[in-house]
Structure 1
Amino acid sequence: MGTPRTAPLVLLRETLFLEASGVTYRIPALLYIPPAATFLAFAEKRSSPRDEDAKYLVLRRGRRQGSSVEWGPVEELSVLTLPGHRTMNPCPLYDAKSGTVFLFCICVEQGKTERCQIWRGCSAARLCYSTSADGGRRWTPLRDVTDEAVGTDLAHWATFAVGPGHGVQLRSGRLVVPAYAYYVHGCLCGVVPLPCYTRQHALVFYSDDGGRSWHKGALVSGGRTGECQVAEICAGDTRKLWLYCNARAPRRCRAVAFSTDNGLRFERSARCRALGEPPRGCQGSVVSFAAPSGAGDAPTWLLYSHPTDRAAGPLGKKYPKPVVKIICDSSVCPHHVAEREFPFFTIFLSRSLHFAGSG
């Protein structure tokens, strides 16, 4: 007799941010704060689906009750802005040592589209963050750390962004924020130099002093790597800790890269055909956790959540169809998809932003 299959996971879905006339929500991010059993769900509030019509971030706080979550009202974080800029790409991070939530984002000059920045080779984005010491109830004013964290390399970046999604704290205590940059590899010289070769590269920003100062790691080499998430994994029998990067890529599957020095440098990226996605990619997430007892030799499991294709929505419009996979293998291209019950929570986009969980 073969191994019996477990029943499929049942997702309990709840709408967190509902589209209304003149208002839409995009770019979700989800953070869990274990001591408070609290979820923080973020998104961009926009006046239209276009990136350039983003306004500021919004938040809902949820209290976990077993396998369900009780959500509070929508809170507008309109104070977390820079004058003349729109706030985009929420990327929250929890520092367990201090109990502080860091909310990273980018602030982009009004009227400057991503395409315009890439064409001109001149970034209009600023790297900013706010902190909360009370689980997201109160936030400090935005701090702009672009000059500190990026420095003179900003002259070679057409634009950049963090996440979107969430950051992580490594066992060493290092705080890590995933990011990507459009690096200008070459220019056409003339009266006005214009970039002729610009390419996406994933990277991370990090802090080793509890968030007092921030630095950047090296750009990931190899194929194009864009929006990304990172997770710390235990590498097989050696029990060495690696930082795993899972990035959006343009060829129908995610790209992966590994770092053995906590994100200072990553090995060359590689395609992972087991993690399929739409042709131009889409926002995705990955988290790591210790393997359940008796679950085999792999010390670390990875939980992936990202769209694999597009499903027809209302009025025939196409929307990414979300998928969640539990992978119990920490190889470059994971192949073992677990068929077992496991509690998880995720946030995803269709016409509005939804939260799904299974306990």
Structure 2
Amino acid sequence: MPNSLRPSSRAAASSARSASLADVAALAGVSTGTVSRAMSKPEMISEATRVRVMEAADRLGYVVNGAARALAMRRTKTIGAVVPRFGSSSFPAMIQALEATLAEQGYTLLLSAPEGRREKEPDILRAMLERGVDAVALLGTDQPPAVLSMLAAHRTPYVQMWAPPGSGSDAVGFDEHAAGAQVVAHLAALGHKRIGFVGGRSKDSERARHRFEGLALALARHDMALDERAIIETEYGFAEGFTAMQEILGRRTPVTAMVFGTDYLAAGALAALDQGGIAVPQALSVASFNDNDFAAYLHPPLTTVRLPIREIGEAAGRLLLARLGGEHFEPPPMHVELIVRRSTGPA
């Protein structure tokens, strides 16, 4: 086998057309079978040979014919994901973990992030299935009937991410009620009795509904009250949290603590409180959910429940890979943890 890449008339000719497998083999001085293995099963050849083949492919700009390979394998090595409300949320971290897990096995993620309109999802899924995706990742269990019907008709494996416990073998998630219980127990220990809440729109979001339910149930157990004048449902975002907090301050409610559905909302609220001259936590405690990267760097640092966001993405990827491989995978238990920082204090 040659020690360096050597040009050939065949390789030179490839400059006038798309490079082929044979062109790569000629430039690398190996067989076409070796090139094929380097691309699809690199563990079957030596590292030196693999590097040699990939250098030749890079020099020629060679790209595997995905359509031909998909036809031969009856797989496109592509996974579809439909994740509404992708912007100011924790979903990017979850999807990044999902994509990284799938990439380990050579799969590509095809993501659609519609702007929250559930009626669009059947059309989005139909387009993905027409592209031949091998499996699909969905957000939550509150799916339009047409979505589940299409998946069943095409016998397409799927996973429901951020799902409540007991949602079935195709679901991965955690207990929102347990998350709410940890926040309330912390505030109860600090002597708080009247609480306000700003969260997502419960009619549009399964996750917002479960989060509010968990909080309400925990408050009832601790004989604490939600002040109706300090409850606002809105979109998730910094600006929305700022506006909601300003509105609640204007109502002059007697709450001593505010809980927010996400760190994005809480960050906006902290800015509104600072602008209004309200000391946190001396005059009002603030707590939240998610533990996004920025939570520890807010002023003051935010008390929040750390949710298993990346773990959901990783487990969802492993579940789909297991389904595609005809194997069984049991998602591990997902735990939540309250991270106490300086935004909460005694009532």
Asked whether the two chains share a fold, i.e. TM above 0.5, the reply is no
TM-score, normalised via structure 1 length: 0.24
Considering Cα pairs closer than 8 Å and 6+ residues apart, tell me whether 1 or 2 has the greater RCO.
Answer: 2
Bigger Rg over Cα: 2
Which structure has the highest helix share of the two? 2
